[in-house]
Each structure stands twice: as C-alpha cells, then as structure tokens.
A and B are shown apart, each in its own frame.
Chain A
C-alpha cells in the first residue's frame, strides 16, 4: 500500500498567517491527491482535488500544488474558520490512503 506521510502533525499559527502543509507519497501517484478539511464533530470537506484544483465553493486562499510524490496545501491568509484538521488522500490506487492529519491551531 502507498504510504502518505503528512507534515507537520500540528501547527500553531495566527490569523493572517500563510501556512503550508505537505504530503509525501511513498511512490509516484501522478496528481491523484485530494486535500480535506475536518472540524471537530463534523464530516470531512473536500478542498482540493487533482492536487491543485479548487473545489467549487472553497475560498481562493486555499491552493494546492505538486505531482508525483510531493504535494503541498497552502492557506495564503488564515481566517478564524480555517482552524481545523487537514488530511491528504491518495486516490491513485487501492487501498486508498490518508495522511496522518495536520491539526492547525490558533497561536
């Protein structure tokens, strides 16, 4: 199975900061990667698909990049509602695998 290594596992930042979360795949997965946001007690929400495409309705401060094995999620200017846990998911082959998650906390 492809392993997705996500970093950091947690991150403290302030409103207005620019933050970057990374995911590394144990083998090449083309651009078959999505980023998901999850708030406590809620279902995950799709932010980015195909590594860099913004899901409809998601604010443009979210962006994704990467291909092959290395991927990043960037939030250009943190807003209060962005404090949540973020996961990457590889959809390249089965079994699909998630990164371990990055908990983004208010500094």
Chain B
C-alpha cells in the first residue's frame, strides 16, 4: 500500500525557517518524481515544487523561488522541503504527492494527509 506521511509542520515566526519531511512507503520511491502542494486556510490548491526521481530536475512556483528548497534522499525514501524567510502568506497545509507517468501524461496519483505550517508572530 502506497503511503506518504508528512511531518515537520508547526508554528514559526515571520522570517523563520522550517523543514518539512515526507516519508514514503509501499512503492519504489526512487522511480518517481515527487511534488509539494499547499493549501492556505479556506483557499484552493497551489502547486509549490517538483523534483525528478534522481533530483536532476527541480522546479518551483514563483511565490517560493529563492526561499524554499526541495530535496530527496532515495536511500531513506524521503522527500523534504526546506522553507526559509517564511511569510504569513506561506501559512497553509502542505501536501506531498507522487507524480506518476501514464502512457501519454502525468498526474499526482497519491497524496499524503498534509502538515500544517503557521507563520505568525
């Protein structure tokens, strides 16, 4: 059974840092691209970042570029999001999601339960 379990969320002051983790199990983690998606309270979904299976390709939303760093450790079946210079508008539930390649397209087929990050003084 595929499982994605996020951790590391919490309350942090503006300008602070936080590192999120996503522990993967039930599939060959090193074969899949992974993503972070967030959702501010009462708002819609926002794609945050993506990393390819071997970490060769990394992409960020403009809203987090230069402040957030995605990484992975395939030996530990883990995905990470290092968040620096946090702002109030970064307050959200952060989901990790597996990106699967279908024959002609891609999609986020499994999601974790999310971890809440609150940026407030």
Contact = CB atoms under 8 A, between A and B. Distances in A.
B80 interface: no
Q: Interface of chain A, helix or strand or loop or mixed? A: loop
A95 B59 contact: yes
Contacts of A89: 45, 47, 107-108
A98 B44 contact: yes
Nearest to B93: A43
Contacts, number: 73
Interface residues of B, number: 26
A46 B98 CA distance: 11
B62 interface: yes
A78 interface: no
A97 B108 CA distance: 13
Given A44-B108, A44-B111, 14 more contacts: A31-B104, A32-B106, A34-B105, A49-B102, A49-B105, A91-B99, A91-B105, A94-B50, A95-B59, A95-B62, A96-B35, A96-B50, A98-B46, A98-B47
Interface of A: 1, 30-34, 36, 38, 42-46, 49-51, 53, 55, 87, 89, 91, 94-101
Interface of B: 35, 37, 44-47, 50, 59-62, 95, 97, 99, 102-109, 111-114
